[in-house]
Amino acid sequence: MDTEAKKILYAASTAGHLENFHAPYINLLARAGCRVTTCCRGRPETEGAAEHIEFPLEKKLASPRNFVLAARLARSIRENRYDLISVHTSLAAFFVRLALMMAGKRDTRVINTVHGYLFDGDTPAPKRRMMLAAEKITAPVTDRIITMNAWDDGLARREKLGGRISFTDGMGVDFKRFDGADRAEARRALGFSEGQFVILCAAEFSSRKNQSMLIRAAAELPEGAVLALAGTGDELERCRELARSVPGRVRFLGYVNDMRMAWAAADVCVSASRYEGLPYNVMEAMYFALPSVVSDVKGNNDLIKDGESGYLYPYDDASACAEKLRALMGDAEKRRSMGAKAKEACRRYALENVMPKMAGVLGEELGTDLLERQP
């Protein structure tokens, strides 16, 4: 089938998500002759998107405004009759598919790429039931689900949340952009001395990312350890206040546009997340041959093998986290060995390895070979 007339709706909750994770795929579709319309809050700065639909969802699933936005989007879907709708992030995935149900599906193909269901087996039952119900409601219009961690993949298959389930190693990370970073230069630029042990967490400040626990763990570390927190978000000021109780132990790096210098300056990656999809920050640390100390939750434990490429610890256990960090702090050879294994393991997540597989999935739904159609 000729893709020149193919219309694609590519949706997520925010412009930043599309810019950070999907620009190569939007560009791929455009180069293959498809007309791509982005749909999210704010217009993403990505090559290849011909049009944009503003879709400013509120974070609460039950917000009445979200249902109003879905009804408006349904009108656009009826008018355009997209050949393929590709949805990303749980909130946008639900309301875009709901809009399609309102509009009538007809021949539109739908792919839901799961970047991490916002619940797991330990989530309180009322929330878990609500989130799962949203997935079941929209399952009938979902032709394919793409999962990227074992727990989500198992759930999608057990609950039959889509017509076809495909597993992928994330969306692919462009590791090449990190090449050329120098540790000594990075330390000077960020103000870390060579003798400091830098523990880096790169994530939006939120209750789910749980940086407050990392600050509690920092209080149990020996002198010379510094917890570096990169990012912004709703919980930033609360974490700043908490850090006053451990003076000199926590550095707030703010929003870091180029993480290359931050990773080059670090000794260890740390994460305290409640759950993940397949976290880019951990994959980036692996590329820099850093061992990771991460909460033992889905996504994290898909990447890190306990005792091999890093350590896992029980979620929200500050003392257990600190114990693992102390073990690495006092053993340079262990850090080197774990870092080397992490570096080797991360190769499967490189963009050049993942993109052909993802292009194949997109092409199957469009009935064409997207890679053959590249100029």
pLDDT tens digit string along 275-289?
A: 999 999 999 999 999
Are 172 and 24 in contact by the 8 Å Cβ rule? The answer is yes
- Fold category of 175-348 in CATH: Rossmann fold (3.40.50)
Partners of 112 in the β-ladder:
87, 145
- The encoded tokens of residue 291 equal 């061992």
Distances from the Cα of 231 to the Cα of 23, 32, 149, 205, 291, angstroms = 21, 35, 24, 7, 20
Q: How far apart are CA 192 and CA 251, in angstroms?
A: 10
Read off the pLDDT of each residue in 37-44 and give the average, rounded to a whole number. 97
Are 148 and 89 in contact by the 8 Å Cβ rule? The answer is no
Average pLDDT of the chain is 95
Confidence grade of residue 342 (pLDDT, cut at 50, 70, 90): very high
Read off the pLDDT of each residue in 237-263 and give the average, rounded to a whole number. 94
| 241 phi/psi in degrees, rounded to 5 | -65, -45
Partners of 251 in the β-ladder:
228
Are 338 and 308 in contact by the 8 Å Cβ rule? The answer is yes
157 DSSP 8-state letter: H
Burial of 326 (0-12, 13-18, 19+ CB in 10 A): middle
Confidence grade of residue 3 (pLDDT, cut at 50, 70, 90): very low
Confidence grade of residue 257 (pLDDT, cut at 50, 70, 90): confident
pLDDT tens digit string along 287-335?
A: 999 999 999 999 999 999 999 999 999 999 999 999 999 999 999 999 9
Percent pLDDT > 70 in the chain is 99
Task: Indicate the residue type of 59.
Answer: K
Strands 197-202 and 250-254: unpaired
Nearest Cα to 266, choosing from 327, 199, 214? 199
Residue-level pLDDT at 375: 76
pLDDT tens digit string along 74-103?
A: 999 999 999 999 999 999 999 999 999 999
Residues 6 or more apart in contact with residue 64 via CB below 8 angstroms: none
Confidence grade of residue 374 (pLDDT, cut at 50, 70, 90): confident
CATH of segment(s) 3-172+350-366: 3.40.50.2000
Read off the pLDDT of each residue in 6-27 and give the average, rounded to a whole number. 96
Q: How far apart are CA 345 and CA 4, in angstroms?
A: 39
Exposure b/e, 42-56, CB count within 10 A at least 16 = b: eebebebbeebbebe
3-class DSSP state of 74: helix
Residue-level pLDDT at 224: 93
173 has pLDDT over 70? yes
Residues 6 or more apart in contact with residue 111 via CB below 8 angstroms: 84, 85, 86, 87, 142, 143, 144, 145, 146, 361, 362, 365
Confidence grade of residue 1 (pLDDT, cut at 50, 70, 90): very low
239 has pLDDT over 90? yes
Nearest Cα to 187, choosing from 176, 199, 196, 174? 196
175-348 shares the fold of 3-172+350-366: yes
Residues 6 or more apart in contact with residue 91 via CB below 8 angstroms: 13, 57, 59, 61, 66
Residue-level pLDDT at 5: 76
pLDDT tens digit string along 101-154?
A: 999 999 999 999 999 999 999 999 999 999 999 999 999 999 999 999 999 999
pLDDT tens digit string along 188-222?
A: 999 999 899 999 999 999 999 999 999 999 999 99
Kindly report which listed range (13-27, 261-275, 360-374) carries the lowest average pLDDT score. 360-374
Domain boundaries, the chain: 3-172+350-366, 175-348
- The encoded tokens of residue 34 equal 């498809």
Residue-level pLDDT at 4: 52
Question: E strands along the chain, which residues?
Answer: 7-14, 35-41, 49-54, 84-88, 109-113, 144-147, 164-167, 197-202, 225-230, 250-254, 268-271, 292-295, 310-313
68 has pLDDT over 90? yes
